[in-house]
Amino acid sequence: MKATAAIAFVIAAGISLPVLAASDQGGHAGHGAMSETPKATSALTEGMVKKIDKSAGKVTVSHGPLPNGMPAMTMVFKVKDMAWLDQMRDGGKIRFAADQINGAMTIVRFVLEQ
Ligand SMILES: [Cu+2]
């Protein structure tokens, strides 16, 4: 009689386990959706305008580490749109994204920092 009761308990425990596993999977599915973060805003790098050369279409920027692995430094960038040089000013802070275009690092997107 005692052995039968023990077997019944094991069977009951065995049935309850798959139920717990199913609810755990549901939790993981929700976590996966949160990993989709917009890449556009996180790719912007902080920089400070040092010198603007409108005739050459270039700007010297002291920038933080870039997503492409370049460490913080002061260097000359080209700009994708020459009109952007009119919006920048010496000593002004910007946040920008740069790409290698025709062998030259070029600012392809930027926002002015207050
Ligand atoms: Cu650089």
Mean pLDDT of the chain: 79
User: Is 29 in the same domain as 60?
Assistant: no
Q: How many CB atoms lie within 10 A of CB 93?
A: 15
Q: Are residue 65 and residue 108 in the same domain, yes or no? A: yes
Cα of 97 vs its chain's centroid, Å? 12
CA distance 12 to 69: 57
26 and 44 both lie in a single domain: no
Looking at the structure, do residues 58 and 23 belong to the same domain, yes or no?
no
Exposure string for 4-38, b = 16+ CB within 10 A, e = fewer? eeeeeeeeeeeeeeeeeeeeeeeeeeeeeeeeeee
Shared domain for 44 and 75, answered yes or no, is yes
Structural domain count, the chain: 2
Lowest-confidence segment of 10-14, 46-50, 70-74 by average pLDDT: 10-14
Cα-to-centroid distance, 35 and ligand 1 (Å): 29
What is the distance, to the nearest Å, from the Cα of residue 14 to the centroid of all Cα atoms in its chain? 45
- Whether 58 and 21 map to the same domain: the answer is no
Q: Containing domain of residue 55, as a range?
A: 40-112
Instruction: Compute the distance from residue 9 Cα to the ligand 1 centre, in Å.
Output: 68
Shared domain check, 51 and 73: yes
CA 64 / ligand 1 centre spacing (Å): 8
- Its pTM stands at 0.64
CA of 69 to the centre of ligand 1 (A): 9
